[in-house]
Structure 1
Amino acid sequence: MNEIKIFCPATIANLNCGFDVLGLCLEGIGDEMIIRKATEKGLRITKITGADLPLDVEKNVAGVAALAIVNAINPDCGFEIEIHKKIKAGSGIGSSSASAAGVVFGINELLGKPFTRHELVDFAMKGEALASGCEHADNVAPCVLGGFTLVRGYNPLDVIKIQSPSELYAVVLHPQIEVKTSDSRAVLPNTVALKDAITQWGNLGGFIAGLYTGNYSLLGRSLQDVVIEPYRQKLIPGFENVKNAALDAGALGSGISGAGPSIFALCKGQDKAEKVAYAMSSSYLEVGIAFDMHISKINDEGVKII
């Protein structure tokens, strides 16, 4: 195999109670990449559509991630990379992680799968660091592995994949504005009150338990954020009204997707997800900012060949 075309799915990170450690993979929303073997060693980004991004390998998220895996293997060939962006940068649904995860998956496939999917997460994080200023896996892990992922630790990297309850759906409202990850991190405090940390630990534990047991009520009770959301919501026009609209329509919970500005809701069943999407859309029309809506089951496969 000398050429591969792949689908790189969008993701939701943090999920209110799991800042930098929790994420899920979405269906139907994502980038596409084409990666080819080349006789000349080295990496070249030959084409980018859908976004104004640098072709310079060292200045591109996919390029940096690709360098990490290629340097680890030192193959006797090079690679040409095409990136077709369909997830907008700064959307809060894992645009940079899709690029980073997709390229390491593709190169790994072309080289005969020397690394497991879990091992690929570490390479993808190198590209993610270019976008956000630090290595974190809450988006790249679900993109590579699919389903829900929990990052138990970073030294060494320890990622656990968790199956999704069968009726769980995600709804995402994406306002057509950009919030840079670096800017959204800049508004966060350096310290957290002990009482808030205890609340957040309890919610994260409850959410993980809810996933394993399929307890939708427990999932909903656990989708609370007392650490990050109070600071980041000011960056998202209309956030509080949209969140309340989602909850009033029957969502299990709602919050900021990743660094924002996207707003997510989790729901039990497709019918409920469609009602919640309608309520969120109706609320955001009053803000006067264009937006996209997505309804998705949880994608258990992650990045894949197409």
Structure 2
Amino acid sequence: MTNEIKIFCPATIANVSCGFDVLGLALESVGDEMVVRKTRGKGIRITKLEGQDLPMETLDNVAGVAGLALLSEVDYDGGFEIEIYKKIKAGSGIGSSAASSAGAVWAMNELLGKPLSSLELVKFAMEGERLASGVAHADNVAPALYGGFTLIRSYDPLDIIPIHTPKELFATVVHPQIEVKTSDSRKILKTNISLVDGIKQWGNLGGLIAGLFTEDYNLIGRSLVDHIVEPIRSILIPGFETIKSEAIKAGALGCGISGSGPSIFALSKGEDKANQVAGAMRKVYQKIGVDYDVHVSKVNTQGIRVISSKR
């Protein structure tokens, strides 16, 4: 029986413009690594955390909180130790807390013989998101656990639908080196929307999902429009409108805010086009003097995966 595994936990793009809190996708080229092992002692201990200055106390760490939620629901007398190697920067908008939360529960489930479904794992991982942002949202943890695109059709009861990923779809993500906390970016959002904006948003969400299933790249591009959140959150992101304009000029299907920001994502047909978009994004931030990271990635249809294991 396996007693220890090392896993890759992907970064994720949440919202995908028109799907606030209900749509997300997993990335292939960027993510955290975690080592999770069984212990005879009960409970969860974070024994190592490298790459980011985050709390190691179990109740203050998203992986610890998510893991404890799982432990409370399974028949297991022991506990777990967790090592976290953060390669996703906190506050980047590409699912740093989700990678830790989802990675912890996924690895624990593997080591216990997979008694729980992906849907059940999402519920536990959401508790880590609750700690991080104050809201138990699933649009990052769901794609991390399922892979590809996921739609959260309902939160009560939780209902998650995997969405088809077109083979040639690539993401480009630029992360300006500022931190925007999800909890802070939620505070500036309106609690009510107009019926006119709602109708536009519902149409785009339906269009995007239809475009993904039919691999209609033009429809995907027409649907990547956010009438509700982007107009407000974009003011927190330096150079957003210029980045978006230049990405479209470079051939991106569409461009928007990744999660709560400050990262900006673009979707493109083909890796060459995605790299051209990355070049356009770099030029904008070089010109205005903002430090940044850029990632070009295929959509990760597997989600979390095992790197190595030990008995």
TM-score interval (norm. to shorter):
over 0.9
Mean CA deviation greater in 113-122 or 135-144:
113-122
Identity, % of aligned positions = 63
What amino acid sits opposite 1:205 in the alignment?
Answer: G
Residues 101 and 125, structure 2, Cα contact 8 Å, conserved in 1: yes
Secondary structure of 1:28's aligned partner: strand
Structure 1 position 176, deviation (Å):
1.0
- TM-score for both structures, normalised by structure 1: 0.99
Name the counterpart of 1:84: 85
Q: Does 1:53 align with 2:54?
A: yes
Q: Does 1:66 align with 2:67?
A: yes
1:119-138 superposed matches below 5 A: 119-138=120-139
Name the counterpart of 1:107: 108
Alignment deviations for residues 73-116 of structure 1 (CA, whole Å, 9 cap, x no partner): 14111111111100000000000000000000000001000012
What amino acid sits opposite 2:33 in the alignment?
Answer: E
Mean CA deviation greater in 280-289 or 145-154:
280-289
Structure 1 position 260, deviation (Å):
0.2
Q: Does 1:282 align with 2:287?
A: no
- 1:74 and 1:176 map into 2 onto residues whose CA distance is 43
Name the counterpart of 2:19: 18
Secondary structure of 1:296's aligned partner: strand
Name the counterpart of 1:252: 253
Name the counterpart of 2:243: 242
Structure 1 position 152, deviation (Å):
0.1
- 2:108 and 2:22 map into 1 onto residues whose CA distance is 26
- TM-score for both structures, normalised by structure 2: 0.97
Name the counterpart of 1:209: 210
- 2:212 and 2:6 map into 1 onto residues whose CA distance is 32
Runs of 4+ displaced beyond 6 Å: none
Structure 1 position 280, deviation (Å):
1.0
1:133-152 superposed matches below 5 A: 133-152=134-153
Residues 29 and 296, structure 2, Cα contact 8 Å, conserved in 1: no
RMSD between superposed Cα atoms in Å: 0.7
Structure 1 position 287, deviation (Å):
2.4
- 1:298 and 1:63 map into 2 onto residues whose CA distance is 28
Name the counterpart of 2:196: 195
Structure 1 position 42, deviation (Å):
1.4
Structure 1 position 163, deviation (Å):
1.9
Structure 1 position 283, deviation (Å):
1.1
- 1:41 and 1:179 map into 2 onto residues whose CA distance is 35
Name the counterpart of 2:5: 4
What amino acid sits opposite 2:20 in the alignment?
Answer: F
Name the counterpart of 2:39: 38
Q: Does 1:170 align with 2:171?
A: yes
Structure 2: stretches of 5+ with no match in the other structure? none
What amino acid sits opposite 2:219 in the alignment?
Answer: L
Structure 1: stretches of 5+ with no match in the other structure? none
Q: Does 1:266 align with 2:274?
A: no
Alignment deviations for residues 263-297 of structure 1 (CA, whole Å, 9 cap, x no partner): 00000011111111111111121221210111011
What amino acid sits opposite 1:15 in the alignment?
Answer: V
Secondary structure of 1:8's aligned partner: strand
Alignment deviations for residues 145-198 of structure 1 (CA, whole Å, 9 cap, x no partner): 000000000011000011210110000001111000011101101110110000
Instruction: Give the count of matched residue pairs.
Output: 306
- 1:22 and 1:285 map into 2 onto residues whose CA distance is 31
What amino acid sits opposite 2:32 in the alignment?
Answer: D
Secondary structure of 1:19's aligned partner: coil
Structure 1 position 118, deviation (Å):
2.4
Residues 163 and 300, structure 1, Cα contact 8 Å, conserved in 2: no
Secondary structure of 1:35's aligned partner: strand
Residues 69 and 124, structure 2, Cα contact 8 Å, conserved in 1: yes
Name the counterpart of 1:295: 296
What amino acid sits opposite 2:209 in the alignment?
Answer: I
